[in-house]
Structure 1
Amino acid sequence: MNNHSQKENLLFIIIISTVATIGGFLFGFDSGVINGTVDGLTMAFKSESIGQGFNVASMLLGCAVGAFAAGTLADWLGRKGLLIIAAIFFVLSAWGSGIALSSAEFIFYRIIGGLAVGAASVMAPAYISEIAPARMRGRLATIQQIAIIFGLFCAFISNYLLAKTAGGSTEPFWLGYQTWRWMFWIELLPAAIFFLSLLAIPESPRFLVIKGKREKALATLTKLYGANQAKLTLGEIEQSIATENHQPKLSDLATGGKVRTIVWVGIGLAMFQQLVGINVVFYYGAVLWQAVGFSESDSLMINVIVGAVSIIACVITISLIDKLGRRPFLIIGSIGMSITLLTLVWVFANADVAENGNLVLGENGTLALVAANAYVFFFNLSWGPVMWVLLGEMFPNQIRGSGLAVAGFAQWIANFAITMTFPIMLTTIGLASAYGFYAVCAFLSVIFVIKMVKETKGKTLESMQG
């Protein structure tokens, strides 16, 4: 271990990185909680249009706006400041979604939750990348993806336990309120923990330097890395922003009238992460497996297995990403997803169709299950966590906030498009063709990474070029 790493306050770095990833947990919880509340919402608001797909979609639009605004706001209020606002929005959304008396009111609070998710999804990895040492930045940023999956898992468990205890999501529970309302209110606990924890962590030293608060930046860097390394890092940060004589702004993403190449790479990474179809598995998992002949209970159990596989894959990535780098994971993941998606296409294309329109997989049912779980494994080994790691570290200091905002916006718009189009594709071109589209996107992502993405392993943020 080198001299400066011996003086690092490693425990402090891990703790504040973990605090930032509570935003990822809330991202997952907020996305997953809706699945158990559909019956209650339909009954409460006397409206079929308040179904799962619409609610997911309305939240995702909030996510896109939150991600896009995050860059400008983070360069104005600070990384910590923006995360605190996101925490307040999580609290408002959890309370309001549960207390809502009309579908319009409910959607309003879901969009507020979406704004928080969008901002946290962009700013948590950015904050981690700006406080973590280069040699372990990938591992710390990858925790974000585990937090997201764990949040989804906790929402499913919470919904299940509440519904089982009360006898159903539409039954009265504590204080006479229906159970589905308590499903949203449970989120108040982690949201409050997120808010209070954020008050205790420092602001990003790179933001403090940009704002001219040199002494505060040095104090934070000293607490993180020790006095000697703090002075060296402060000098590197000051040198990297010395060529810029203005505060960061969105127009910095273009130079000489053209958008910087690094921005297009960020947008490409963000969109490919969604175009491979992962959220079809997360949002429509039960619907998908019922469509190919599994019972509802079997379908829900498959979702639990998918969650466990996701966490295992992320743990592997955490242990190896700072040794192997970012690009190898993306390439392996893309190739793996291409093969597994094509396997699913073949199974679905060769399935019989039952009278109710569902596919009958027959002997290929096991193959489909293995391929689907292998696909989820390859995604969470690669594009799931690594995309966020790269976006948090690949942009030069001056444009990190704005670059993340534009890439985050593209990611959520692609997420919205995939989420909205899957049910349409299912009923028009069919399951095999839909998965064929995702397979083509997975194959194209291999070429994109090889041609466009540069390795960032072990590099300081001050050395990033764009």
Structure 2
Amino acid sequence: MNVWMLIIGRILLGVGIGYANQSVPVYLSEMAPAKIRGALNIGFQMAITIGIFAANLVNYGTAQMKENGWRVSLGLAAVPALIMTVGALFLPDTPNSLIERGMKEEAREMLQKIRGTTEVDAEYDDLVEASEVSKLVENPWKTIMEPRYRPQLVITALIPFFQQLTGINVIMFYAPVLFKTLGFGDDAALMSAVVSGLVNVFATVVSVFTVDKFGRRALFLEGGIQMFVCQIATGALIASVFGVSGDGAFSKEKGNLALALICIYVAAFAWSWGPLGWLVPSEIHPLETRSAGQSMNVSVNMFFTFVIGQLFLSMLCHLKFGLFFFFGGWVFVMTVFVYFFIPETKNVPIEEMNRVWKSHWFWGKYIPDDAPGLANAHHNNNA
């Protein structure tokens, strides 16, 4: 009826998305066996990319409608929301959650069920120990600021910050605007957005099958290098055609090259910083700071999504092709950060993550020798 209806609807959508992004990665990390935790968690990101692709298709279709196309586009979003709501009724609680609420026998039974074996004593003991430590924590937000949680705090704040400064949301939010600016027509711009959305889906599937084999660091680093090269090349290509004045037009060949570079960039993000931006923060926190940590991850992510979304069109007007160099510079910084400060977490049980930090050249000094998970880790290694 009016703009307020749109704003209120968007706020409600934001609350729903915030709740989902807070709970789903943590739920998956707590339920999944360590050896396939990455693949299952990235299933979350894959579902998001399929949703983005489906939304691009819907937008392309409803753009052809003479009346109420935008109403149909927005209204169809109720379908996945309904599926999620009904599906959530059938989800069991995680063993961690059951232990936290004193239902220890139910927790053991659930652990046996999801691991497919009765031999769960060691993992169950880890969960109980983590729960006991967690109960001593009165304020998770105050606790997460303690020096012993410094690695998790820094990485949980910086990963979502860096994820948005890859520039991906500029591409995904404004793909039709961007392609139209580059000389594609209205329909061609929407179709180009559909193409980049399809690339997003397939590349995320690649991540599902490689994250537990090659590890988080390998995907972070390869994706970072690929994104950096594509952004510099795209910026140079646009500069060669439009210069600073903005006058010029893409030939068909150069237009296709720009689309190809953007798709290669989207692919790099979709198998690296996209899914890993949700996976790594959700798996590195001990139980006592896990909810606070994931809240921080989602909040930082959404805040900088908002900032980039608000500033992008102004930045495009002022920086022109330099916008791609701006994001390319940030991708370089974050790739260096990963190389030096993010340890490998593949195949590490979630309650034994402290041994990863303890053995790291920089973060090790923050982890006390009596930190939970270290004793069991030594025992398991010896066994």
Instruction: Please say whether Structure 1 and Structure 2 have the same fold, judged by a TM-score greater than 0.5.
Output: yes
C-alpha change, 1:185 and 1:300, in structure 2 (3 Å) is: closer
Question: SS of the counterpart of 1:212?
Answer: coil
**What does residue 277 of structure 1 align with?**
167
- TM-score of the superposed pair, with normalisation by structure 1: 0.72
**What does residue 15 of structure 2 align with?**
115
Percent of aligned pairs with the same amino acid: 29
Do structure 1's residue 138 and structure 2's residue 43 form an aligned pair? no
Give the Cα–Cα distance (whole angstroms) in 1 for the partners of residues 242 and 137 of structure 2: 64
Post-superposition Cα deviations, 1:190-238, rounded to whole Å, max 9, x if no partner, equal 2222111111111121122223221221222122124523433221111
Equivalent of 1:438 in 321, 327, 331: 327
Give the Cα–Cα distance (whole angstroms) in 2 for the partners of residues 195 and 148 of structure 1: 16
**What does residue 253 of structure 1 align with?**
144
Tell me by how many angstroms 1:259 deviates. Answer: 6.7
User: How many pairs does the alignment contain?
Assistant: 353
Post-superposition Cα deviations, 1:402-455, rounded to whole Å, max 9, x if no partner, equal 01111211111111111111100111221x111111000010111110111111
**What does residue 373 of structure 2 align with?**
none
Tell me by how many angstroms 1:327 deviates. Answer: 0.7
Equivalent of 2:228 in 338, 344, 347: 338
**What does residue 79 of structure 1 align with?**
none
Bigger shift: residues 222-231 or 189-198: 222-231
Give the Cα–Cα distance (whole angstroms) in 2 for the partners of residues 225 and 247 of structure 1: 31
Contact 1:338 1:443 in 2 (8 A): yes
C-alpha change, 1:179 and 1:446, in structure 2 (3 Å) is: closer
Do structure 1's residue 384 and structure 2's residue 274 form an aligned pair? yes
Give the Cα–Cα distance (whole angstroms) in 2 for the partners of residues 404 and 450 of structure 1: 23
Equivalent of 2:75 in 163, 169, 185: 185
Give the Cα–Cα distance (whole angstroms) in 1 for the partners of residues 72 and 202 of structure 2: 30
Bigger shift: residues 140-149 or 152-161: 152-161
**1:33-72 counterparts in 2 under 5 A?**
none
**What does residue 462 of structure 1 align with?**
351
Equivalent of 2:206 in 307, 311, 316: 316
Contact 2:96 2:131 in 1 (8 A): no
C-alpha change, 1:154 and 1:339, in structure 2 (3 Å) is: same
Tell me by how many angstroms 1:184 deviates. Answer: 2.4
CA RMSD of aligned residues (A): 2.1
Give the Cα–Cα distance (whole angstroms) in 2 for the partners of residues 141 and 248 of structure 1: 27
C-alpha change, 1:301 and 1:183, in structure 2 (3 Å) is: closer
Letter in 2 for 1:444: V
Higher normalized contact order (CA 8 Å, seq sep 6+, divided by chain length): 2
**1:25-104 counterparts in 2 under 5 A?**
101-104=1-4
Give the Cα–Cα distance (whole angstroms) in 2 for the partners of residues 196 and 381 of structure 1: 30
C-alpha change, 1:398 and 1:233, in structure 2 (3 Å) is: same
Letter in 1 for 2:318: T
Question: SS of the counterpart of 2:179?
Answer: helix
Tell me by how many angstroms 1:186 deviates. Answer: 2.0
**What does residue 376 of structure 2 align with?**
none
Give the Cα–Cα distance (whole angstroms) in 2 for the partners of residues 246 and 208 of structure 1: 18
Tell me by how many angstroms 1:358 deviates. Answer: 5.5
Tell me by how many angstroms 1:180 deviates. Answer: 3.0
C-alpha change, 1:158 and 1:442, in structure 2 (3 Å) is: same
Give the Cα–Cα distance (whole angstroms) in 1 for the partners of residues 149 and 36 of structure 2: 31
**1:349-360 counterparts in 2 under 5 A?**
349-352=239-242, 357=246, 359-360=248-249
Question: SS of the counterpart of 1:264?
Answer: helix
**What does residue 418 of structure 1 align with?**
308
Post-superposition Cα deviations, 1:296-327, rounded to whole Å, max 9, x if no partner, equal 22211211111121112111111111111101
Do structure 1's residue 449 and structure 2's residue 338 form an aligned pair? yes
Give the Cα–Cα distance (whole angstroms) in 2 for the partners of residues 162 and 437 of structure 1: 34
Structure 2: runs of 5 or more not aligned? 358-383
Give the Cα–Cα distance (whole angstroms) in 1 for the partners of residues 114 and 243 of structure 2: 60
C-alpha change, 1:159 and 1:337, in structure 2 (3 Å) is: closer
- TM-score of the superposed pair, with normalisation by structure 2: 0.86
Give the Cα–Cα distance (whole angstroms) in 2 for the partners of residues 354 and 399 of structure 1: 49
